[in-house]
Structure 1
Amino acid sequence: MPYVVQPGDTLLRIARMFNVNKESLLAANPGLSSAKPLSPGLLLSVPAQTAFIYRVQPGDTLLGIACKFGLSLQDIISANRHQELKQLLPGALLTMPCAGSGRIVDGRAEYGQRELTADAEALLKAYPFLQVEKIGASVMGKPLIAIRLGEGPIKLHVNAGMHANEWITTPLLMTFLEDAARAASSGEKLCGIDMQALLQRVTLWVVPLVNPDGAELAQEGLRPDHPHAAELLRWNKGSDRFNKWKANIRGVDLNDQFPAFWEEETSRRGNDGPGPRDYPGPNPLSEPEARALAEFTAEQRFDLVVALHTQGQEIYWNYRGYEPPESERIARKLGKDSGYKPVKLSGSDAGYKDWFILQFRKPGFTVEIGYGVNPLPVEAFPDLYDEVRMLLAAALEAARAQEKQE
């Protein structure tokens, strides 16, 4: 079947939309290269055995169509992301996947602001006890959202997607949020934990995508009409390949932005200007993304925080001796459940975890998910999620244990 490439499309996103694999798309379109971004307007041939087209009839509703074909609303919404579905017009053509995945969050392709926004809305409809808040905006005006699950007095915070090419942490965190919400709704256990009971004692706040502008750049490459195109090319040493880009859209490393011995980190990095990584910026919290996260943290006064990064299968738990005594014990518990190695780190400053420990003297952890070279391949998502699920479940239990110490 034919498909016209839309802005922001990638091979993996199109494959996910039609429930086919990337290799099938490449085979059906010999002129394509997986190494080059797709141009909007390009007409592709999509193997159609796993999807079909439905023409909207008078009186049709989205729910009625979903019931007619045994699909979920999210299946249809995901397959028609580029269409306005709030008001169906007779004669409109809908892409219908042959079978739904049964999940809202789908980690089989690139995952950025577009996917996060749609999934947050869908999760809120499925689980109305969730709370979604905007805590700020990126340099380019993309909303930074936080999602709350639970109502307990002890607060756990997890953030992800701070480094652009580590965006896979975002769907990993969102998948855990979906599983935890489902378990709480149904009364099922997650990783052996009674989520209903736990979430009466613990509130989980997640910020799934701290760096949406950078994630878009790392995933989709640089568009000619990008408002920062000239600067980005210069900062990237003339290369149009941005898959190794870690910084935000102004070339600042957001995890070097926090006021925890920032001057020493700046001296250690030795980068005097914007680039793909390791530039701490002109001053602490100069970037709106880091500033929003710091202000949100100060407002909520979390009891325990986890920052998800890739890669290395390690857990960093200390900071210059300011960490509380229980931090090492919690790190060992997280490591036991996930298979990751707790590491006592030195020679690193100005990170979110560093600032949290310094500012609040409470347990904070940086987790390096997976092992390999960034960006980690989406094919590894199921294995990575097995690790993350166990680790975040252990973090929830560790947060609940904090209540007994207060």
Structure 2
Amino acid sequence: MGNIVNPKQVYRYTQLLDDINLLTSKYDSLEKRVIGYSVNHRKLIALRLGTGKKAVMLNGAHHAREWLTSALLMNMAEYYCKRHEDEEEIRKLFKEVSLWFVPMVNPDGVTLVQDGADQFHQKNELIKMNDGSVHYDGWKANIRGIDLNRQYPMDWETIDDQIRKPAPAMFKGKKPLSEPEVRSLYQFSLEHNFAFVACYHSSGEEIFWQYKSSGAVYDSAKKLAEKLAALTGYRLVEPGPNPSGGGFTDWFIMVQKRPSFTIEIGPYVGPVPVPLHYYDKIWKENKEVGLLLAKACLQN
């Protein structure tokens, strides 16, 4: 039988829903859970593979134009489900570890980038936020013009927000956790004792792995970051003396005090979606990341 997930296409929210329904129907090992809703009431869905008490979470598409991360995570979920059926070692792993996927954190924004503003009741506001343009390839924010990865409660107040109003990118909002997408993922994270989280973004072939951590948190994160770098071939990035804050990884590292990684897929292409012709390379680099993190749980 062929694959259900086809990542080499413009991967829409509607395709995500269809693929999730097909995968959860085919694989008893995969569980679907709605963890919240977007501004325009699109479902935020988490998929769980495994029954173990230890847990890892992978998420994607905080940023609208970075929808290829959703396709990657869905491809990964199907690949692991197949291996779960075929390999005793993988079945044993997922009896001890649960691997959660939240493939599309920003479904409204993804839909805007891919299909434009015509289907949104906020059409006129979106055009205004986009400086009069009807082309949304560079859009990162949610449908209210707020950058979801500047919304988490870690040094939010100190972010140098020169935007100061809703925009395609970078506006941090009027307060942390103002957006329903962020609140949903934040609450989901608090409800689960995730050992590690990987947040998929694009582009640059880089891994951000620490914020202002130190001591044991820093040491354990560095060891795992080095393994991820060796696996993917991506460059590890030091945040510098004054990192901006507000990101999921920043919050998770400092508050949950466990490793989190922001993984930037694809060669750097600027403020546009990563072209699909890079996908084979991206898949080869990342297909084992979830298994690496799940196995690391057992050594933790």
Instruction: Tell me the residue number matched to 2:72.
Output: 172
Q: Distance between the aligned counterparts of 1:400 and 1:242, measured in 2? A: 43
Deviation string, structure 1 residues 153-199 (Cα, Å, up to 9, x no partner): 211001001100000000101101100011001227xxxxx311211
Choose 1 or 2 for highest CA Rg.
1
Task: State the Cα distance separating 1:381 from its structure 2 match.
Answer: 1.4
Counterpart of 1:113 in structure 2 is 13
Matched to 1:226, the amino acid is F
1:364-403 to structure 2, matched below 5 A, reads 364-373=260-269, 374-402=272-300
Identical pairs, percent: 37
| Corresponding position of 2:180 | 288
What residue number does 2:245 align with?
349
Instruction: Decide whether the 8 Å contact of 1:335 with 1:391 is kept in 2.
Output: no
What is residue 245 of structure 1 aligned with on the other side? 139
| Structure 1: 5+ residue stretches without partners | 1-71, 73-101, 189-193
Output aligned runs, 1:73-112, within 5 Å. Answer: 102-112=2-12
How far the C-alpha of 1:205 sits from its partner, in A, is 0.8
CA distance in 2, matches of 1:338, 1:393: 13
Residue 228 of structure 1 and its aligned partner are, at CA, apart by 0.6
State how far apart, in whole Å, the 2-side matches of 1:116 and 1:365 are: 24
TM-score norm. by structure 2 comes to: 0.95
Q: Which residue number in structure 2 is paired with residue 5 of structure 1?
A: none
Give distance in 2, aligned partners of 1:337 and 1:197. 22
Q: Does 1:297 align with 2:189?
A: yes
Report how far residue 390 of structure 1 moved. 3.0
* Alignment partner of 1:264 is 2:149: no
Aligned pairs (5 A) from 1:206-355: 206-223=101-118, 225-265=119-159, 268-321=160-213, 323-346=217-240, 347-355=243-251
SS of the residue corresponding to residue 200 of structure 1 reads helix
Shift of 1:399: 2.6
Equivalent residue letter for 1:257: Q
CA distance in 1, matches of 2:71, 2:90: 20
Q: Is the 8 A contact 2:12 2:110 kept in 1?
A: yes
- Give me the CA root mean square deviation: 1.3
C-alpha separation in 1, matches of 2:113 and 2:273: 9
Give yes or no for contact 2:205–2:268 (8 Å, CA) kept in 1: no
SS at 1:345's partner residue?
coil
SS of structure 2 residue aligned to 1:277: coil
Q: Tell me, in whole angstroms, the C-alpha distance in 2 between the residues paired with 1:174 and 1:309.
A: 14
Which stretches of structure 1, 4 residues or more, deviate above 3 A after TM superposition?
Answer: none
